[in-house]
Amino acid sequence: MIARSGEGVPKEIIRTLEGVAPCLARYAETAPCHNDLNPNNVLEANERIFFVDWEVAGAGDPFLDLAQLGVFAFPQREQREALLEAYLARRPSEEETARAAVARVIALAVYAAAFFMVRSFSGAPRALAAPVRFSELRQTLATSRERADPGVVATSLQLEMQVESASDAVGSAKAFLAAL
C-alpha cells in the first residue's frame, strides 16, 4: 500500500514525474522492456552481455531502459549519446534525442523514489542526509565496500533529477515532444 500511495517519496519527485511522463505517454508499451536495467542487473561473461533479474519486466518504452542504465553506468552526456546511437545503430533523430532527455529525468525520479522508499522501510530517522554531487555518489557506490546510505543516494538522485529537469535540453525536449 505504501508503494502505491507514494508515502515516503518527496512531492517534488511526484510533481516532476507528472510534468514529464505525459511527454512519453505515446511511447508506452511499445516493446518488451527490463524496467530495472541498472548495472547490478547486467552481467558480462565470455564477451557477451546478459540481463538478469527480470521480475519487473514488461511492455514499455525502451528509451526508459536505456535511461535507467545510463543513470549509473553512463554518467556523462556523451556516453549516453553514444549508448543511444549504438542502440539505434544510427544517429538518433531529433524526436529520439528528445525522448532520451525526458526518459533520463524519469529514470532519475524513479530511482530516487525507490531509494526514498527503501529509506522509509528501513526505519531511518526523519532527518535526511544532505545530497552529494552525483559524480561523488557514483564514485562512492563504485568503490565502497559498505552499503551506501539510502537517504544519501535518494537525495543525491533527486538533486540530479532537479538539475536535469531544469536544463535547457529537457525544456526543449518537452516542448518538442508536446508539439508532435
Give the residue with greater pLDDT, 29 vs 32. 32
Cα distance between residue 51 and residue 82, in whole Å: 20
Give the residue with greater pLDDT, 128 vs 149. 149
Amino acid letter, residue 30: T
Q: How confident is the model at residue 7 (pLDDT cuts 50, 70, 90)?
A: low
Q: What is the pLDDT of residues 90-118, one digit of tens each?
A: 999 999 999 999 999 999 999 999 999 88
Cα distance between residue 54 and residue 42, in whole Å: 11
The Cα-based distances of 46 to 37, 40, 43 in angstroms read 20, 18, 10
List the chain domain ranges.
2-175
pTM for this model (two decimals): 0.89
Residue 2 has pLDDT above 50, yes or no: no
Q: Dihedrals φ, ψ of 28, to 5°? A: -65, 145
The cell 542502440 sits on which residue? 87
pLDDT, average across residues 30-41: 89
- By three-state DSSP, how is residue 123 classified? coil
Q: How many CA atoms lie within 13 A of 21 on its CB side?
A: 11
Q: Which of 45, 41, 43, 65 is nearest to 55 (CA)?
A: 41
Pick the CATH number of 2-175 from 1.25.40.20, 3.90.1200.10, 3.90.1150.10, 3.40.50.300: 3.90.1200.10
The cell 539505434 sits on which residue? 88
Cα distance between residue 137 and residue 75, in whole Å: 11
- Sign of the dihedral through C-alpha 12, 69, 94, 78: positive
Residue 3 has pLDDT above 50, yes or no: no
Residue 126 has pLDDT above 60, yes or no: yes
Highest mean predicted confidence (pLDDT) among 123-127, 132-136, 146-150, 159-163: 159-163
Residue 149 has pLDDT above 90, yes or no: no
